[in-house]
Copies of this chain bind each other. A is one copy, B any other.
Amino acid sequence: MVPVIRELARCYQAFQRASDAHIRHSGLTPPQFDIVVTLGNTDGMTFKDLGNRTLITKGTLTGVVDRLEARGLVARAASPTDGRSTLVKLTPEGERLFHRVFEPHLAFLAPAFESLPECGRKELEKRLRQLRLALEKRSQDLARQG
């Protein structure tokens, strides 16, 4: 089990290392980029949803979104259905940044992913999903006292 954990950590680390250098050209920090990518190609979502899809907790999220809003990349709007909720979505400028940065970023990473055979990518995807679901179950077990 330890070897596969090590490879998971090292692989993601390599992914981060390759991504971060590229991302920094956008002038965004990794968490900010994370939010912009999460909001890309959506009609916006609540803070709660953003927190679930990233590893950023609510107190921190307020600050990260503040900085993105100050730069005109995202906007807050009241939820029409729940008075407690706030929707966050990309502004037109945020959309432009998303497309300007994200697509070249994928193009930059592509050679690495394409070096795996098609069946290897499918296989990897399937195994990662299995493992993720099992890990999520583990977190739930811990939460209700593992």
Contacts and interface: CB of A to CB of B under 8 A. Distances in A.
Contacts of A116: 127, 130-131, 134
A106 B112 CA distance: 30
Interface residues of A, number: 51
A57 to B, nearest CB: 11
A68 to B, nearest CB: 20
A125 B121 CA distance: 13
Contacts of A127: 116, 120, 123-124, 127
A68 B113 CA distance: 37
B142 A130 contact: no
A137 B112 contact: yes
A138 B142 CA distance: 38
B121 A128 contact: no
Contact of A115 (B121, B130, B142): B130
A133 to B, nearest CB: 8
Interface stretch (A14-22, A69-77, A82-90, A93-101): A14-22
Interface of A: 1-5, 7-18, 21-22, 54-55, 106, 108-116, 120-121, 123-125, 127-132, 134-139, 142-143, 146
Given A12-B12, A120-B127, 9 more contacts: A1-B106, A1-B109, A4-B125, A5-B15, A5-B109, A5-B113, A7-B124, A115-B130, A116-B127
